[in-house]
Structure 1
Amino acid sequence: MKSQTSHWCARPQAAKLAASAIIAAALSGCANYAGIHSDKRMASAEQFETAHSLPAEHGRWPTADWAEQFGDAQLKALIAQALKDSPTLEQAGARLRQAQAFSETAKAGTLPRVDANYSLTRQQYSSTALVPPPYAGGWQTENKGVLTASYDLDLWGKNREALKAAVSQAQASEADEAFVKLTLVTAIARSYNQLARLYLLHGIAVREVTRREQIDRVTAGRIATGLDTEVERRTAQANLATSRAAVTALDGSILTTRYQLAALVGAGPDRGLSIERPTPSASDEVQLPDNLPADLLSRRPDIVAARWRVDAITHEVKEAKAEFYPDINLSAAIGLDAFGFGRFLTAASRTASVGPAIHLPIFDAGALRAKLKGRYAEFDYAVAAYDQTLIAALADVATQLGQIRSSDAQLTDAQAAQQAAQSADQLAMTQYRAGLTNQLTVLNADVAALNAEQAVANLEMNRRDQRIALASALGGGYVDTSSAPAR
């Protein structure tokens, strides 16, 4: 009796050993990701040499209303309208909402699911098949109502990594929206500054017309006294016509810029006709904030977006790795199933089921490995894109600062040249009236004065434009308030 009992006890043990052997054999033949990896790492701001190009000057970072310092109340109103009506911002907002919805979908994949189903089927059963009498050959109505529940155990974290990737993509889309906003505000501020430049040059051109009219009158008087000839008169008239044409050209450029501003704020061209001449504020000294390279990482929305994309693909890599392991899904169902209506709600019609479903990839012709290789390639691309974004941002700040410093140096000499040219122009005109010099000397002095005045105006407006670009390069008041991506 004892030996017989031992014999029967040994059978379950043998079954367990056999099952273990089968599982081990299956696992040994399963798809695996051995040899697939990446050693790419995101660059840090500190590894780039910036001490001389971006010195610490104890300056301040731009504030959220940074663009208002470059214009007047009209510029503020244009920016407010753009933030409200611009289709460009609406597109960015739609992309953000789409990313957020995708993250909600990914979150649903980590939670249990419950469904209710009901079906009513009227069917004639074959009298020569599997269905026995009395149903064979007759029509029957089947009522079936089932409540099902399922839950993926997610033992290897595939669904959790998918959720983390979706959340990071949503964070990237949020930073993208901020970058689109920054780009739009920068475009409006720079276009507004261009409008101010055109009005400034227009005023210079109008004054030049007045000077050319004066030269024409003096030339007419000199012809009457025999000091000049008809050649000088025609020359004066040609120069006057050229100056008037310059005014007309600037009128066209001003109108075009107004239309451009209207489009930027999301309005029709008639909105541009109501834009008045800008009254920009005076320019001031530019100083860079301290700890610039490191802090720029959280101040530039494009850098923040690139960083979140690296984080998202990192989780997608982990998700792809988890697909190499078995999936275990628990499911259960309870309901009622009966022929006809009379017995549908009775205890005898109850039906129930419960059990696990296991999926184990064994041979897929390399599909999972190829997918993981693709994810690693995307990861390498995202890291390279982040590094390029960081390098471009540092170069952007350094370039705008260098241009501002160059404009400051040029302005000193240009203003001195303007004063000298204006004095020479006035002296030449005085001598021309007195008959002490000829028209060519007057025209040369006038052109020199005009060029010097235009040069100063352009340098001043260039410097303002460069300051706008620098404030934008420093993030335009953006600060990343999201939690740092997990590593």
Structure 2
Amino acid sequence: MKTQISKSASGVRAMKAGLSAILVALLSACVNYAGIHSDQQMAQPQQYESTQSLPAESGHWPSADWADQFGDAQLKALLEEALKGSPTIAQARARIAGAQAYTETAKASTMPHVNADYSLTRQQFSGTAAVPPPYAGSWQTQNSGLLSASYDLDLWGKNREALKAAVSQLQASEADAELVKLTLTTALARTYNQLARLYVLRDIAQQEVERRERIDRITAGRIATGLDTQVERKTAQANLATARSALAALDGSILTTRYQLAALMGKGPDRGLEIARPALGVGDEVRLPDNLPADLVSRRPDIVAARWRVDAITHEVKEAKAEFYPDINLSAAIGLDAFGFGRFLTAASRTGSAGAAIHLPIFDAGELRAQLKGRYADFDDAVATYDQTLISALSGVATQLAQIRSSDVQLDDAQTAQQAAREADDLAITQYKGGLTNQLTVLNADMNALQADQAVANLLMDRRDQQIALASALGGGYVDTSSEATRSADSAAPSNPVVAAR
């Protein structure tokens, strides 16, 4: 008895050894991906020197309601309206829905499939073919019902990697949607600030029209006393017309800016006509948060999206590698098959099957290797895109900060120049009215005062525009929380996707 058991065990081991040898032989004979790899690695924020340009100032990251710092309730309402009605937001939501559907499709590939089929066929069988009597040459009704199941063993993880890639693409789509929101709100806030700029410049232009009218009246009085000629009068009238033309141009710019705001909100141009004059405040003190380069990678939606795309292609590389290995599918079916209706539900009509199908690529003229090379090329491109996105983000923050600091310095000098130019203008008009100076002196002083007023107004508006741009460059209150959700679904990104892609 023991001898028989020993022989049986020996036979099983021999069978396993034989199967292993056959499998090794088949794998060595089939196509492989030797020599295909990538050495690209995602850059770390610390690789790029930025401590001088981006100093730690113990500031705070922007919150989702960063626009509230300017104290304009209308701006807040416009931003909320835009997020609800803009077609660009609807497009982003549609892309997320498409990515979600693709993820569900990929998940279905990892699960068993069960199908039920039924067919009813009325057929005349040939009397000279393989069908025996009494069915040969007769009409028969064939009933067939089949319940089948199939399952891909996915021994090498091809379907699982496809699912992980789809999940990562979904996360990238969601980050893209946040980027669309941030881009939209930033554009709307900056356009709204432009509307505020135009109103301030219009006030200055209106004051200039009034000054030119005053100069024209003084010139008319001086002509009556013989101090000026018609040359000065015509000059004063020309300057007055020019000032009125500049005022009309600003009115046109205000109108077109209203239309731009309406378009950003996803509304018709008439909606822009309802927008009141902005009442924007100075905003919060500008200070950068600590540990900025490292934290920025989870605060900027464009960087997050680029990182998830690297992760997605990492899994696509693994999926492409799995194509080189045997693919084993299990299938089983049970059903009923009979001629006529009377015998369909009888035990004799039962039918069943079970089996396995193995697919092993042996020679494909280099198709699988070419596909893997393509995936690695996509991986290299995604890594380079991520690196460039990170560089652009750091540069963007540094640029906005430098512009704000520069505007602060310029503003002090510009306000001093404005005060001096305004006093000189008032003094020149007083002297001109009293006959102590000529019109050219008045016009020069008036032009200097106008330019000084415009310079201060533009610097104030530029600084606020730069504050808005800085809030956007710091992510606009976005924080990436997708990693936790993905890990809970057992589809998280690897800590080092580059290693996984090699």
Bin for the TM-score computed over the shorter chain: over 0.9
In structure 2, how many angstroms separate the alpha carbons of the residues matched to 1:11 and 1:95?
Answer: 58
- Compute the displacement of 1:394 (Å): 0.3
Structure 1 distance, partners of 2:11, 2:296, is 69
**TM (normalized to structure 1)?**
0.96
- Listed as ranges, the matches of 1:144-293 within 5 Å are 144-293=144-293
Report the secondary structure of 1:483's partner residue: helix
CA gap 1:234/1:65 in 2 versus in 1, 3 angstroms: same
Displacement of 1:285: 2.8
Equivalent residue runs for 1:42-191 within 5 Å: 42-70=42-70, 72-191=72-191
Alignment length (residue pairs): 482
C-alpha distance in 2 between matches for 1:8 and 1:67: 80
One-letter code aligned to 1:165: A
- Superposed CA offset, 1:99-124 (max 9, x none): 01111111111111111111111111
The answer to whether residue 494 in structure 2 is matched with residue 486 in structure 1 is: yes
Q: Do the aligned partners of residues 10 and 128 (structure 1) sit closer, same or farther apart at CA in structure 2, a change above 3 Å counting? A: farther
SS in structure 2 opposite 1:477? coil
Would the alpha carbon gap of residues 469 and 374 (structure 1) be closer, same or farther in structure 2, given more than 3 Å must change? same
Task: Give deviations 1:290-349, integer Å, cap 9, x for gaps.
Answer: 000000000000000000000000001001111111111111101111111111111111
Out of 136-145 and 169-178, give the one that drifted further: 136-145
Aligned equivalent of 1:422: 422
Write the deviation string for residues 259-296 of structure 1: whole angstroms up to 9, x where unpaired.
00000001000000101110101244311010000000
Q: CA deviation at 1:78?
A: 0.8
1:352 counterpart residue number: 352
Q: Work out whether residues 70 and 468 of structure 1, in 8 Å CA contact, stay in contact via their aligned partners in 2.
A: no
Q: Which moved more, 1:250-259 or 1:69-78?
A: 69-78
Deviations 1:49-77 (A, max 9, x none): 00110000111110000122235111111
Residue 135 of structure 1, CA deviation: 1.3
For residues 55 and 9 of structure 2, the distance between their equivalents in structure 1, rounded to whole angstroms, comes to 81
Amino acid at match of 1:98: G
Q: 1:172 to 1:20 in 2, by over 3 A?
A: closer
Specify the alignment match of 2:442 in structure 1.
Answer: 442
1:357-372 residue pairs with structure 2 within 5 A?
A: 357-372=357-372
Q: 1:423 to 1:131 in 2, by over 3 A?
A: same
In the TM superposition, what whole-angstrom CA distance separates every residue of 1:376-413 from its partner, at most 9, and x where no partner exists?
00000000000000000000000000111111111011
SS at match of 2:43: coil
C-alpha distance in 2, partners of 1:9/1:102? 48
- What residue identity is the alignment partner of 1:115? N
Q: Given that residues 147 and 335 in structure 1 are in contact (C-alpha distance below 8 angstroms), is that contact kept between their aligned partners in structure 2?
A: yes
Closer, same or farther: CA 86–14 of 1 in aligned 2, 3 Å: closer
Moved over 3 A (4+): 7-25
CA distance in structure 2 between the partners assigned to 1:14 and 1:163 by the alignment = 38
CA distance, structure 1, for counterparts of residue 128 and residue 71 of structure 2: 90
1:244 positional shift: 0.3
Q: Give me the whole-angstrom Cα distance separating, in 2, the residues matched to 1:478 and 1:174.
A: 12
How far does residue 451 in structure 1 lie from its aligned partner after superposition?
A: 0.2
The whole-number CA distance in structure 2 between the counterparts of 1:36 and 1:153 is: 26
Measured in 2, the distance between the counterparts of 1:11 and 1:303 equals 59
* Structure-2 separation of matches of 1:13 and 1:376: 41
CA 10–467 in structure 1, closer or farther in 2 if over 3 Å, else same: closer
- Answer yes or no: is the 8 Å Cα contact 1:70–1:189 preserved in 2: no
Measured in 1, the distance between the counterparts of 2:20 and 2:139 equals 49
AA aligned opposite 2:263: A
Go from structure 1 to structure 2 and tell me whether the alpha carbon gap of 1:231 and 1:329 turns closer, same or farther (over 3 Å shift): same
CA distance in 2, matches of 1:284, 1:205: 29
The letter of the residue matching 1:486 is: P
Deviation at 1:40, TM superposition (A): 0.6
**TM-score, normalization by structure 2:** 0.93
Equivalents in 1 of 2:68, 2:371: separation in Å?
Answer: 49
| 1:342 aligned residue | 342
Equivalent residue, structure 2, for 1:3: none
Distance 1:9 1:77 in 2: 79
Contact 2:282 2:464 in 1 (8 A): no
Structure 1 gaps of 5+ residues are 1-6
Long gaps (5+) in structure 2:
1-6, 485-492, 496-502
Paired residue for 1:453? Answer: 453
- Separation in structure 1 between the aligned mates of residue 11 and residue 51 of structure 2, nearest angstrom: 77
Distance 1:58 1:368 in 2: 53
Give the superposition deviation at 1:137.
Answer: 1.5
> Which residue pairs with 1:4 in the alignment?
none
Amino acid at match of 2:274: S
Give the C-alpha shift of residue 24 in structure 1: 3.9
For residues 322-333 of structure 1, the aligned pairs below 5 Å read 322-333=322-333
3-state secondary structure, aligned to 1:36: coil
Please give the alpha-carbon distance, in whole angstroms, between the structure 1 residues aligned to 2:71 and 2:407. 20
Q: CA deviation at 1:18?
A: 7.0
Aligned equivalent of 1:35: 35
1:382 corresponds to: 382
Contact 1:31 1:363 in 2 (8 A): yes
Say whether the 8 Å CA contact 2:69–2:283 is kept in structure 1: no
> In 2, are the aligned partners of 1:67 and 1:186 still within 8 Å (CA)?
no
**1:468 corresponds to which residue?**
468
